[in-house]
Chains A and B, each alone.
Chain A
Amino acid sequence: AQRVTQPEKLLSVFKGAPVELKCNYSYSGSPELFWYVQYSRQRLQLLLRHISRESIKGFTADLNKGETSFHLKKPFAQEEDSAMYYCALSLQGGSEKLVFGKGTKLTVNP
């Protein structure tokens, strides 16, 4: 079965420190992976997707098929990065379903 694992429920770093939010997936097909973010009192929104290989708000994520991982990284965390982060997997075959991980709450301390 398809599964997305985010091993850290909570992650706390200091401003300016590097941050890495881990995501591992289990899927036999060719995955499309996404990171969604939910800031306090805001709606869930897309942060970035692996197919575009872009950097958004200083965050990057590389798909590692060998390790089945899609970790989210930022070299210098900012207080405004504090939020709930969800890794999500899209399935092949025309399914519109997204499989989400349980999420990691990131807190960036001043």
Chain B
Amino acid sequence: DTGVSQDPRHKITKRGQNVTFRCDPISEHNRLYWYRQTLGQGPEFLTYFQNEAQLEKSRLLSDRFSAERPKGSFSTLEIQRTEQGDSAMYLCASSFGQAWKFYGYTFGSGTRLTVV
């Protein structure tokens, strides 16, 4: 297990196109989180899953955004009809239960999205 993996590392897309990102958490971690980080800002919470259930969503997650974790393992984040304001680093993190309060999240390297 090499930690949290995110794919792709970089994505350049034209405005209006749909994009999908994938996150593979640490295998025994049942919680998975998505954060977005724009230039000069800290990470902003988007959503989180416990197993396959999406338990919390930020108001930042507009109708164009959808996240899934169908089998409680990997997760996908899809952005439809991308806008330039969606350009950001999308970070995935995982944790086992509430262990993140003691050991922190395990973050992936992120997917950098550029919308042109």
Contact = CB atoms under 8 A, between A and B. Distances in A.
A102 B56 contact: no
Contact of A102 (B41, B55, B100, B101): B41
Interface string A78-96: 0000000010101000011
Size bracket of the A interface: 20 to 34
A100 B104 contact: no
Contacts, number: 52
The A contact surface, by secondary structure, is: strand
Contact of A32 (B4, B33, B42, B101): B101
A36 B48 CA distance: 19
A44 B91 contact: yes
Interface of B: 3-4, 31, 33, 40-45, 48, 55-56, 58, 91, 100-105, 107-109
Contacts of B108: 43
A54 to B, nearest CB: 11
A101 B43 CA distance: 8
Interface of A: 4, 9, 32, 34, 36, 43-46, 49, 51-52, 86, 88, 90, 95-103
